[in-house]
Structure 1
Amino acid sequence: MAGKKKSEDFIFLYNKKEKISKLVKDFTVIPSHEIVKYLLNKEIYLPNYLHKALIRKNIAPAIADADSSNKFSDEMKFRLRWFDKFTIFQLERLALGYQLPINVTEYKKDFWDIIVRNRSELGINNLEFVKLQNLTLKYAREPQESYDAMMEEFRQVYFEPDGYFDGTLIEDAKEVLSNATTLTEIRDLGKRYNVEIPRRINKKQLIDIVSLKLGFDEEKREEIAKKSILEIERYAKRRKVNVSIELKKDDMIEYILIKMPQTVAPKYTNSLKVFAGMNIEEYLYNLKFQEIASVVSDKRKKRVRTGFLVLIAIVVVAAVGYLIYTNFIV
């Protein structure tokens, strides 16, 4: 997203000038099934890291003062040092565990802001937003859906790009999961990806992992299969592959990455091209800053207006009092 687009304030629909901030706010009433239907029709798919950034921006204000808050335990305060790198699982777990509800209206507003400002790159014509405006009239009085209901639909359009896991670059994911999750949470993460993590692995599983990590063919695999478990562990360690039948936290994370279903995900080259050069986290941070500044500005204007009205009232009262006084003297 270029700098020019970030400062774009208006969009023209049928020669009518529409403020983008109002447009995206109006679009928040559109239910997720309609959003997904529209995106699929346009063959628009979005990377998981966009979803992660939207959640993070949503709950970030709630943990801004975590160090001085009684809401979080000392252990959680320590883990929150890695908040900026949290994966989707960690963000959702944090929100659920500490009753930080993800505001669906705000999520959708930020979602639409990014879509609208990248409309040309995503192949969206301005006039298509008129159809979406019609949907806002249809659903204006409907209650907002829950986060879980929204995500049931949105999963159809979100995808994991190569080199990413749970919305995060794989190496960053390994680091943050290792430093900021418990063993129980890692097991729950495994279940999310249909991986049951054993307490310890057997020799066959050990051979599978080593073979996969070292890219062995069948002949090489049969060769290490003749070794004992201890010999295989030492063999792997000499080749910079730390693996053991006793799974530690890092091993459990690796186990998920290796054992999770390896589906051939579509590349969605265009979507990746659109968002590749965009720092979504920074953009959403600036967007939040602008929202806060706007609220402060509105409050300041309200105070000035109120002060002005009070001043007028004082002048009127004083004038009336003066007239009464002068008439009384006369």
Structure 2
Amino acid sequence: MTVKFGLLGAGRIGKVHAKAITGDAQAQLVAVADAFPAAAQAIAAQYGCDIRSIEAIETATDIDAVVICTPTDTHADLIERFVKAGKAVFCEKPIDLSLARVKSCLDVVRAHKGTLMVGFNRRFDPHFKAVRAEIDKGTIGDVEMVVIVSRDPGAPPIDYIGRSGGIFRDMTIHDFDMARFLLGEEVTEVAATAAVLVDPAIGAAGDFDSVQVMLKTASGKQAMISNSRRATYGYDQRIEIHGSLGAVSAENQRPVSIEVASAAGYTRPPLHDFFMTRYTEAYAAEIASFIAALSGKGTASPSGEDGLIALALADAAVKSVAEKRTVLLSEIL
């Protein structure tokens, strides 16, 4: 079965997904839509697909599924439209910045028995999957503590900060999902701290650029998340899981994994510069997983419910910082 795709949004993440779709033998990129004609034209020229309006893709009989890469404030409306049109939907995180809106959107998905997968790509990273595999095999015993480090090489533009929903909903939300993926137990408590250490303009925009979050489950398992909008040495992505019988970790990845020894000492190449190259394999694997689900091989996961819980954890972190206290997830959901 070949799944025929429509791509909604031809920006930075749209380009990443266009590459993943066209690189899969079980997929065909039929059409792209974008508010900026030049962006759509660039993808159409590179991959040989049509340029169509969102309305044309919505009613098209030659498209089975869509990948939503448009601005966040359009996600929920587009999910509902395309589910009602009988299309399977893959949507970049988050579904919306409002928990109430996400809940109402998921109600529509369920009412129409739609297929929705949310783009938490890091679950599909081969290194992080290998860590999870060791957990599942029981190699390290029961998971007790998780440490997640995620630091960007630089902050996004200030105009993006203003519409992103803030660092917890934009950046840390990936780590909230990864913490759930690794803990194997739902988080019940959130304690967060936040500061502006990178750029005062980020603070002026009402956001933070340096945050740490402690998550705790009902049984006492803990996950610590460390985020910064600045890492002068590259894209810093590490995880470590401590268990009752041992530990397992995934270190930073490089485009070239070599080590050079000379009179100056040991040196290694720089880290990946950002997510587009660091998670290339993950983006391809998540699209492959979505295609497999549409072909009857498994379910579409991460689900809309996963997206809802990750956003709730982000909201709890926001509340924790504002009120300087630990927040129960039950206060949010």
**Largest Rg, 1 or 2:** 1
> Between Structure 1 and Structure 2, which shows a larger proportion of strand residues?
2
Task: State the TM-score bracket (shorter-chain normalisation).
Answer: under 0.3
Normalising by structure 2, we get a TM-score of 0.25
Q: Which has the higher contact order (CA 8 A, sep 6+)?
A: 1
> Between Structure 1 and Structure 2, which shows a larger proportion of helix residues?
1
